[in-house]
Structure 1
Amino acid sequence: MAAVPPSAFLQGAPMATQPEGWGELPCDLIRRIVENYLSCGIDRRRLSWINRHWGETIRDMKLPELPWMFLPSTSTPMFFEPVTRCLHKIWLPAALKSGMLCGSSGPWIFISLGYPERQFILYNLCNGEKRGRIDLPVTILNKEGMIHNVWVEMAALSRPPSTAEYTVAAVVRIGESLVHTIATWESNEDHWTEIGTVEDGVFDMLFYQGSFHFLTSSEDLIRLVPEGLSFRMESYHVKFRSSKPIDDYYEAQETGYILRRYLVESTAGHLLFAVKCTHGSRKTFDIKLLRLSVDDAGQARWAHYKNTMDEMIYLGQASSVSCVSQGEPTIHFLDDRMVKSEAEADHYYRRDMGGLQPHVLQVGWYGYRTPNEESRFSYRAPDDIGATDVPTPVWCKPQSGGSTTD
């Protein structure tokens, strides 16, 4: 937006009511600027940081806060707003730029670093280094009472760290082991606490309706249940496995397909399971959505999920979210293929990022394939976003209002 002097909005106003500068503009003019010129949530956020007056005025507008995509990079980390297709640079401490992203909750992201020393950090993208950094342990106390080094694969928060008694749960690897272990951490502890191992591996995790949930490679669910001062794992054997037919179909057709599985809470409060199919070197072309259904006998199954409202779903490991939108139902997805660039060593493509809109094909939301490009869109040209040396992006969702404190 081109710079416009305050006087341009105030022609004809009495001199006594004219503000001295941008910082004291009347609330109605601030609202007009935001509504008419700033469709990007990132631009609105930055404008709310001008001062308390601007922040309170913009917060009172109760504008929808859609998720942002955080694109990591050792050189230029960026925010991307998928609805308006806006791309913004973001400042990040140099020591954190090379870290792998392991999940997010609101504006908080989990960053795992292996060089020059192993670190695991919870970082607030809106508050920055001084008020938004929590260093988490890199060791675990196992069930035998021994302490070992860990590598965190993914993590999730129970509630914002600004509140009391929050918990972090994570999927970790202990020492040189490749086995996934579920662990938890409380703010007064020096180590992670081992809860149990998952031999067949974990695809995704989500804090849902007061409990941490984990999706295993067999598409069963594990839920953490409080027990004394710790937790125990409660397994749900899900009778109907949605992606087994998908596995069989693609294996029979051609090799090179990548299946990604995610957990996400719908806007109506359902626990959803998403299966995304991508050709290794091409584009995502198939997404299926199902919801967890438990009958009176306690038998769980994945049932077809039929979207009945204008819902936008954003899929990413340990960072999936859903929002109500006034636009068309859309499934947004990240490029998590880990496909290496042929032109740049140790870089990964970010070409498969965009959305699928099932209404275009006029078929069920819960399962459809995209045989043409009309139902699929890319966010930007690949050259605009480029390859990166730090995979993979995550979604983050800042809170409304001025400077974020959660």
Structure 2
Amino acid sequence: MPRAREPCCPWSDGLPPELLDIILRYLTCHADRVYFAAVCRAWRSAAHVHKALRCKLPWLLLPSPVAPSFLSLHSGATRRLYLPESVRAARLCGSHEGGWVALAFDQWRGYAAVNLCSGAKVPLPDRLRIPSSRWIDADREHPMVIRTITFSGTPSAEGCLAAAHVSSTCSIAFWRTGMDRHWIAYRGDVDHIQDIIYYKGGFHVLSNTEDVVVYTPNVINGASLVMSRTSCLIQKRDDYKPDSRLPKSFRMSRYLVESRGKLLMVLRLFRPEQRREFRIFEMNLAGAGGSEASWVELDALPGRVLLLGRGCSRAFEVSQSDRLPAGNIYYLDDTSFSLSLALSNGSTNSSTDMGVHGFRKTLDVTRHARCGIPYEFTSECCSLPMWFIP
């Protein structure tokens, strides 16, 4: 009688630990390490033991109510992202380190901060209150539509603050943990908000005139919140021109990014059927208390890359990842987004100008389909792509 064949061990179990360690050294992307650990028990144990330096380079979330996915800049690969149905159909409004995103479950209401890694959820109000000395307005709450949300820290942590760019009777509103009913809004403080960033203990708000207003918490007592407002006296750069003087077919976007302890303003000029123009300025503080400032233009980005997106821009050192060339600017298409789409459920939003730009003043080159970033992307849930840090 033929001898019974002994069961063969899976090939993955036969790899020596030294080889597994070498493989893991090249897997700096968190998603790649998760897939590695899912192969078998031996690989899972190796991934658990291996102490690799974790790179916090964001993923690019590509929203979809049916099959959401994400793009890893480490590998250039796009993978499926398995999310609850309610999250898949939501509109993304912001992100924060540690797996957090801000979203609107019902496009223009039902706001919350959700951790896509752990499933934790922090509800956010969908009404705002405007501080007033008149008693008639003291308890009045107004409807609001949030464009973007920026957090000061982990949304679930005590004392976390958030700033929202809103469309309502006001343009900016603030929230802190414990405020369950409403946001605190400030009427007419900043017109035409371009971007918001939390920087050195305060929310810095950039306008289309390239001025900056800083909001810092003044009084925090229970569920109440009072913000102090400081305007930076910024000297206009020599070649500054207001947006109203641009041709109608041109679009200008401005972003705030923190890099190496400095505050950067990135200008992106879009001309139809022409190459994209990017300019980078660093805030130079002067005067007593740093209340006076100017924008100083940079010629290069040595050792750095920038990822641009309203409310989710980031700067990273190339030493954190050898896959990204220094000086690259990765940008999303958030210049043509119409908030009216968020008010009509079932609408789609098309991004038609995403890519990567090699920034040097002597040689500006815009590249598409490099590192896997799609040039065009259509979302059926009326949500823009967004940078996400797991």
What range is the shorter-chain TM-score in?
A: 0.7 to 0.9
Equivalent position SS for 1:96:
helix
Partner Cα distance (1:243, 1:75) in 2: 47
Residue 151 of structure 1, aligned match among 138, 145, 154:
145
Q: Which moved more, 1:326-335 or 1:213-222?
A: 326-335
Q: Report the residue type matching 1:190 in the other structure.
A: R
Q: Which residue of 2 aligns with 1:112?
A: 104
Q: Which residue of 1 aligns with 2:265?
A: 273
Report the CA distance between 1:168 and its aligned residue: 1.6
Equivalent residues of 1:338, 1:348 under 8 A apart = no
Show the 5 A alignment for 1:92-111: 92-106=83-97, 107-111=99-103
1:259 aligns with 2:255: no
Seen in structure 2, the aligned counterparts of structure 1 residues 184 and 9 have a Cα distance that, compared at 3 Å, is: same
Write the deviation string for residues 213-232 of structure 1: whole angstroms up to 9, x where unpaired: 11112211111122222212
Q: Which residue of 1 aligns with 2:359?
A: 358
Seen in structure 2, the aligned counterparts of structure 1 residues 46 and 319 have a Cα distance that, compared at 3 Å, is: farther
Partner Cα distance (2:245, 2:75) in 1: 36
Equivalent residues of 1:184, 1:195 under 8 A apart = no
Partner Cα distance (1:168, 1:350) in 2: 27
Report the CA distance between 1:167 and its aligned residue: 1.4
Equivalent position SS for 1:91:
coil
- Give TM-score scaled by structure 2 length: 0.79
Q: Which residue of 2 aligns with 1:21?
A: none
1:68 aligns with 2:64: no
Q: Report the residue type matching 2:214 in the other structure.
A: R
Q: Percent identity?
A: 22
1:6 aligns with 2:17: no
Equivalent residues of 1:71, 1:78 under 8 A apart = yes
Residue 113 of structure 2, aligned match among 112, 122, 125:
122
1:316 aligns with 2:309: yes
Report the CA distance between 1:95 and its aligned residue: 1.8
- Give TM-score scaled by structure 1 length: 0.76
Q: Which residue of 2 aligns with 1:328?
A: 326
Q: Which residue of 2 aligns with 1:236?
A: 232
1:34 aligns with 2:27: no
Report the CA distance between 1:257 and its aligned residue: 1.6
Equivalent residues of 2:156, 2:177 under 8 A apart = no
Equivalent residues of 2:90, 2:383 under 8 A apart = no
Q: Which residue of 2 aligns with 1:165?
A: 159
Equivalent residues of 2:196, 2:205 under 8 A apart = yes
Equivalent residues of 2:301, 2:359 under 8 A apart = no
Partner Cα distance (2:388, 2:213) in 1: 24
Q: Report the residue type matching 1:376 in the other structure.
A: R
Report the CA distance between 1:331 and its aligned residue: 0.8
Equivalent residues of 1:335, 1:352 under 8 A apart = yes
Q: Which residue of 1 aligns with 2:185?
A: 194
Q: Which residue of 2 aligns with 1:19?
A: none
Q: Which residue of 1 aligns with 2:4?
A: none
5+ unaligned residues in a row in structure 2: which ranges? 1-9, 132-136, 221-225, 320-324, 339-345
1:139 aligns with 2:155: no
Equivalent residues of 1:352, 1:378 under 8 A apart = no
Report the CA distance between 1:314 and its aligned residue: 0.3
Q: Which residue of 2 aligns with 1:88?
A: 79
Seen in structure 2, the aligned counterparts of structure 1 residues 256 and 386 have a Cα distance that, compared at 3 Å, is: same
Write the deviation string for residues 317-343 of structure 1: whole angstroms up to 9, x where unpaired: 000001111433211101224479xxx
Q: Which moved more, 1:296-305 or 1:203-212?
A: 296-305
Write the deviation string for residues 184-233 of structure 1: whole angstroms up to 9, x where unpaired: 23235432122443352211101112211111122111111222222122
Seen in structure 2, the aligned counterparts of structure 1 residues 248 and 195 have a Cα distance that, compared at 3 Å, is: closer
Equivalent residues of 1:172, 1:181 under 8 A apart = yes
